[in-house]
Structure 1
């Protein structure tokens, strides 16, 4: 701009002018720009004294607006004439040949450098725009991308800007080399990386596309690997990324220095611990006599900091110091503590909840405003908000209050996620052919925190319509209320053609009382009617006899009592944690009088990086009350999805003389699954293979549960959290079966979020 100003000075007048009093100011050359914009940029007004210094300042000010490509100032007597040439306005920005990006992404990137519809056109920005486009493609490993810019003049001093892109091929990682390693093999170290060389599944994972951010993350993973095995002085000495002349292949070379492993000789506490050294020592996870582990040190520091926070010291500092004995390969760790000052919470703010109401978030908080800062309550509050399932991210920020020494403000930052779920399921069998199930659920309807769900099943033998709603804070104390309305039409599986069905409309209400932060007890009451429809000659003898003895319609008023605890790390792809559920249903009045109980236990164990062992056990038991038999339509069923795969849905257990599968009042179900990473997917948990073994059966009221009567199956499959939702496909083969058992080998389920 300085050069333009100098040129304008020379072209505006040949000689310096003597200062004079302005009698008028004229502006010439304006087409779109308001005259007021020009007058507002001038450092002089009519009646002011004009001189060369003010003229130069006016030129600088007008050029700095970016609206003009040329500006001149001419003096005619005591009149100053400002002559401007406006820059063209960008009418349209177009992209040709862009396949890797949506145009919106590129449009936003160019807007940040000054190129956008409606903005003044400046040729100087074109080079920056081209470089920005190339930078976007470099981030996608398209190193051969070329950009050509075409400027097309339009009427009324406008231009169209067209960027023609030749994307070229994606540069892929051909090889990753690690040098300097002695204690661990190159293959073992490369398995830690998310970046990989080409593989047959990299079309999905894109792990063979180079990214500087991913490489830095992999280097941190490598550093953590060594630091957790005693190599305290490990260092990455250099990293070279080389690209082939045709810009299609990338080679990454990482040079490391391992150093020697160190064993911890002892841990000591230094600084102020308020006389609670023994309490803090119980939090130490660093083990003398074992290899130094950076994770243990970080975990101990975190535990110390949290413990200080529980006492109200929000800004406590704990610094680990290592005293290294290189000659003997030993290290002593000292933990220096500075509690700083005790503070209390002034305000708690919630940010990022664009849909969920503030009260839905705040009612989960256990830290209160105007109370002493309590780190444990804050963590519990964060975890409770996270367990709502409404947010992708939940973080708490602690900010000091200006001009105070004992106050902080807390800000809970959340990122909303879709809380609706559309589930579609299907199963294949020789009896039902194709079975479809579907449900539509909204966990946070209208941002209120309430749940609303509708489920239906189109099975030939089981047709269901269920409408459910849950208010998790029916009372201010956190007592929940659930309402269910359902209409079920079922026909137990039969080896012979039968024209009968069970029709069960009903409704129930259930309340959940939180007895602790992790335990909830449920109780409720319902009313339902079950009618056995059909001609007696076309239905199983057991149903015909029950109808003859107790009538076609049975009315029950079931009372429910249950308990749940869930500490799994994820409901979608759990890798650790436990889930337990106990439920009892009892009907003491009406035509149906019975007790039906069910217990479920799940355990997830991380075996190794990416490998998870999962167990599921479910036990069911039922008994008739008041001298009446257990209602046959309340039987448990086994076989198929959720029980023993490899057998048709509901086909296990007692069989009527007519060939109908009746189920039974006793059920045993045991499942074991072992999840492994899908080959080529790296650390991606959304795509995994699994093998399974299922064992189970149902038994009649007078039958003993014997191991020899249990059915078993084994199989394999894969689970994928696909772009359209979670998908699970399994293929099973019976391991223990009896003549007459009906087989179902292939099952899949897919869901999507909206």
Structure 2
């Protein structure tokens, strides 16, 4: 037998003849392939450029070997002849069994695996040793993009049985290069500070101790260049361009200096706008949606936002694929711009079908009842977005996405594909904490926001502190009626130690139940009605060990009305809420008007009226300002009085910061030489009227600017309680100013404030530092 062998591409075309029989042409009677382990003979034969019955001679050898090498399956290929049988002898490349990473902290395994797959390397594929250098280069590029220029990569190939290998990649990431300076060259119209103020890349301010602003990444720099471009295009510089960007690395590869060269061009003025195209809604209405400043520098964002408003308006009429294209007409001589908005509504479409996926634990009807876009109706972009938001606000939904899909073969129909990602809807928690007002807190609760997949909420709570001992059980159906009205049931038991809460010396035991109905008036307005029953028992404190007991005012009231009371209550409230979030809201408003009645027939008959409101204004992406206030007033019916255990109190971290919890009150002698809001023991007795007001500027914490779970604020609080409306005096309002921090930590919310009273009087109980902590385990 004569054999011809080619060792790799470097030997292609070289033929060694072994006897005259090899050089003679012959008709292939059969083809045999030797050396296969994982690849089937059929697969290998499919790549051969010859087949049984063909005439073969040595001139075809390079082509056969070349085609087999092109498959990437083989390290070596040899051809031989046995009579009229063509023998192909191969040596397979090993298969990758597993790719393992070690030492990578900055980039997760999944991201590195994705990068290697782009160069043809992943588990199960054939391993080509020529890829080793590409493997190292690809991973190095990933780290260079993150500013880690001292990265070291070691690749180890471990041979396994059955012609397999493991690829072990050990990474020493090294320190991340830090940005030491960002320089702008060529800017004349704007100062460096104005342009770099919104950059994510740069040198942190002196007070940003934990900022990642000086961490370099290509993606972050690209975003900063787009921010720079937007700044100029919104200021009329249509010809603005970034000429070049240089990133200079220090010799130790740990310091970076970024230089951005810009060409500003000349500013242009926007002098006019016009509409063109197909007006399926009145042209005047579309024109009203164009909000640009004529005679001012051209602003790309104003033009883009105007086009988006028109497209959204068309979507509300069913034009799902409407396009409004603003085209500028530039007068270079006079440096003026006019913009024509070309309106292409496209076909008006219906929503044929709405498909919901991802609801593994929830009945589909629970999601469908939240939808505002209906099937077989006109497509409405605003209703679709509102539907998505309603779904995403459900406590058992982590995210909701909506995709619009054309119906094949139809120009006027679309399907909506809604995918939801569900989160765990039940929780068992045991908690502990401490607050200055309530002391040691212990709590345990079981809650299920999606009971048996129905969307109903069930919860039970047991908690104890120096002030309260509470047991509560609630069950709520948020969609008791098809119109979205809710109904909930609640039973409770609560012990309150008033003395531990910094007020008069007595305690109460309360138990009862109520039923709550919530009636939606609109997407942002709701009315709640809560009838219920409550039993109250008041416990007095005796004079012992030199300590005074329950004051005479309370004892006299108990002598008149008894130390127990059965109350039939009716609570109603109206809530208007447009805030963008229920935690760290940055814009919107929330107003609540409430009334609580102990209706005639109760042992004590009284009413309480309350109002609270907050207006939030977004000042920038990270700054917002809040103005909030509240007022409460209560009194008895007929000859009855507002019970002492229902009076209003103020002061503390949740009321007027800078003053001790519940200790505020009008200190003027309005009753027998005694302040009406103090009892005969000189303890806070509360009042029938409470007023509070606050102004607060919210901003990211300087030491954790990138942490969305932490927010700081500077505030001014004011408020007080008065015995009667006629006692109200603006001069008696107590005020304080300070700083506050709130952190929604993994174990619960933590709140801190430092405040300085501004107009405290002798007898006021002030407290500059206040906090409330919680923890779970």
TM-score, normalised relative to structure 1: 0.87
1:619 maps to 2:631: yes
* Counterpart contact for 1:425–1:748, Cα < 8 Å: no
Shift in alpha-carbon separation, 1:65–1:227, aligned structure 2, 3 A: closer
The counterpart of 2:722, out of the listed 699, 711, 718, is: 699
Shift in alpha-carbon separation, 1:686–1:294, aligned structure 2, 3 A: farther
The CA distance in 1 between the partners of 2:707 and 2:283, in whole Å, is 42
Equivalent in the alignment of 1:360:
366
Equivalent in the alignment of 1:664:
687
Which deviates more from structure 2 when the two are superposed, residues 104-113 or residues 598-607?
Answer: 104-113
Deviations 1:288-316 (A, max 9, x none): 23333222212221121122222222222
SS in 1 for 2:499: coil
* Counterpart contact for 1:467–1:485, Cα < 8 Å: yes
Shift in alpha-carbon separation, 1:563–1:257, aligned structure 2, 3 A: same
Shift in alpha-carbon separation, 1:11–1:620, aligned structure 2, 3 A: farther
Equivalent in the alignment of 1:631:
643
Shift in alpha-carbon separation, 1:644–1:334, aligned structure 2, 3 A: same
The CA distance in 2 between the partners of 1:542 and 1:57, in whole Å, is 110
Equivalent in the alignment of 2:653:
641
Task: State the Cα distance separating 1:681 from its structure 2 match.
Answer: 6.2
Equivalent in the alignment of 1:226:
232
Shift in alpha-carbon separation, 1:716–1:2, aligned structure 2, 3 A: farther
Deviations 1:3-60 (A, max 9, x none): 56986996899446622444xx7665456x38xx33454349xx96466499999878
Task: State the Cα distance separating 1:560 from its structure 2 match.
Answer: 1.9
The CA distance in 2 between the partners of 1:291 and 1:552, in whole Å, is 74
Task: State the Cα distance separating 1:700 from its structure 2 match.
Answer: 2.6
The CA distance in 1 between the partners of 2:69 and 2:760, in whole Å, is 88
Structure 1: gaps (5+ residues): none
1:743 maps to 2:766: yes
SS in 1 for 2:634: strand
The CA distance in 2 between the partners of 1:6 and 1:662, in whole Å, is 101
The counterpart of 1:312, out of the listed 294, 311, 318, is: 318
The CA distance in 2 between the partners of 1:283 and 1:562, in whole Å, is 37
Equivalent in the alignment of 2:671:
none
Task: State the Cα distance separating 1:673 from its structure 2 match.
Answer: 0.8
Equivalent in the alignment of 1:572:
583
1:514 maps to 2:520: yes
Task: State the Cα distance separating 1:747 from its structure 2 match.
Answer: 3.2
Deviations 1:557-592 (A, max 9, x none): 211211111111222222211111122221213323
Equivalence map 1:677-692=2 (5 Å): 677-679=700-702, 686-692=709-715
* Counterpart contact for 2:28–2:86, Cα < 8 Å: no
Equivalent in the alignment of 2:252:
246
* Counterpart contact for 1:90–1:118, Cα < 8 Å: yes
The CA distance in 2 between the partners of 1:255 and 1:635, in whole Å, is 67
Task: State the Cα distance separating 1:394 from its structure 2 match.
Answer: 4.8
* Counterpart contact for 2:689–2:725, Cα < 8 Å: no
The CA distance in 1 between the partners of 2:359 and 2:775, in whole Å, is 22
The CA distance in 2 between the partners of 1:405 and 1:389, in whole Å, is 37
1:169 maps to 2:175: yes
Deviations 1:406-426 (A, max 9, x none): 222233455556777979785
1:42 maps to 2:23: no
SS in 2 for 1:42: helix
The CA distance in 2 between the partners of 1:542 and 1:148, in whole Å, is 82
Task: State the Cα distance separating 1:189 from its structure 2 match.
Answer: 0.7
Task: State the Cα distance separating 1:263 from its structure 2 match.
Answer: 3.3
The CA distance in 1 between the partners of 2:444 and 2:695, in whole Å, is 26
* Counterpart contact for 2:184–2:261, Cα < 8 Å: yes
SS in 1 for 2:509: strand
* Counterpart contact for 2:503–2:683, Cα < 8 Å: no
The CA distance in 2 between the partners of 1:539 and 1:693, in whole Å, is 35
The CA distance in 1 between the partners of 2:61 and 2:453, in whole Å, is 60
* Counterpart contact for 1:519–1:563, Cα < 8 Å: yes
Which deviates more from structure 2 when the two are superposed, residues 451-460 or residues 591-600?
Answer: 451-460
Q: How many residues are paired up? A: 746
Task: State the Cα distance separating 1:517 from its structure 2 match.
Answer: 2.2
Structure 2: gaps (5+ residues): 1-5, 544-548, 666-676
Shift in alpha-carbon separation, 1:646–1:680, aligned structure 2, 3 A: closer
The counterpart of 2:287, out of the listed 281, 291, 301, is: 281
The counterpart of 1:582, out of the listed 580, 590, 593, is: 593
Equivalent in the alignment of 1:485:
491
Task: State the Cα distance separating 1:264 from its structure 2 match.
Answer: 3.0
Deviations 1:174-209 (A, max 9, x none): 111112222211011100111122555666332212
Two-structure CA RMSD over aligned residues (Å): 3.8
Deviations 1:593-613 (A, max 9, x none): 221222110111123453321
Task: State the Cα distance separating 1:154 from its structure 2 match.
Answer: 4.5
Equivalent in the alignment of 2:189:
183
Shift in alpha-carbon separation, 1:648–1:203, aligned structure 2, 3 A: closer
The CA distance in 1 between the partners of 2:605 and 2:327, in whole Å, is 69
The CA distance in 2 between the partners of 1:446 and 1:753, in whole Å, is 26
The counterpart of 1:303, out of the listed 309, 331, 334, is: 309
1:595 maps to 2:607: yes
The counterpart of 2:529, out of the listed 520, 523, 528, is: 523
Deviations 1:84-106 (A, max 9, x none): 43444545544444343455654
The CA distance in 1 between the partners of 2:81 and 2:237, in whole Å, is 78
Shift in alpha-carbon separation, 1:159–1:292, aligned structure 2, 3 A: closer
* Counterpart contact for 2:438–2:500, Cα < 8 Å: no
Shift in alpha-carbon separation, 1:10–1:504, aligned structure 2, 3 A: farther
* Counterpart contact for 2:370–2:387, Cα < 8 Å: yes
The CA distance in 2 between the partners of 1:459 and 1:717, in whole Å, is 24
1:462 maps to 2:468: yes
The counterpart of 1:126, out of the listed 112, 122, 132, is: 132
The CA distance in 2 between the partners of 1:394 and 1:57, in whole Å, is 56
